[in-house]
Amino acid sequence: MKMEQYIRAIAGSLVLLSLCLGYLHSPYWHLFIAFVGTNLLQSAFTKWCLMEDILAKLGVAKAA
């Protein structure tokens, strides 16, 4: 998989996980969904993503 696919998979997994935890455990987990969404939104405008930097350090190839 390329980096963009990893980022989408990680973001989707975090959203689903925190949604489930918010339903089953505590509604405060929904704040984590807001955090993930805010990061996705800011990366669309600034073209910078922390997860992209993390994956690059782990050796994941960027899309060509």
Predicted model pTM: 0.84
Other beta carbons within 10 Å of 13: 11
Q: pLDDT by residue for the chain (64 residues), tens digit each? A: 889 999 999 999 999 999 999 999 999 999 999 999 999 999 999 999 999 999 999 999 887 6
Which pLDDT score, from 0 to 100, does residue 64 have?
Answer: 62
The CA-based dihedral angle spanning residues 34, 40, 42, 48, taken in that order and rounded to the nearest 10 degrees: 140
Query: Does residue 22 sit in helix, strand or coil?
Result: helix
Compute the distance between CA of residue 59 and CA of residue 47 in angstroms, rounded to an integer.
20
Give the number of other Cβ atoms within 10 Å of residue 55's Cβ.
19
Distance CA 21, CA 7 (A): 21
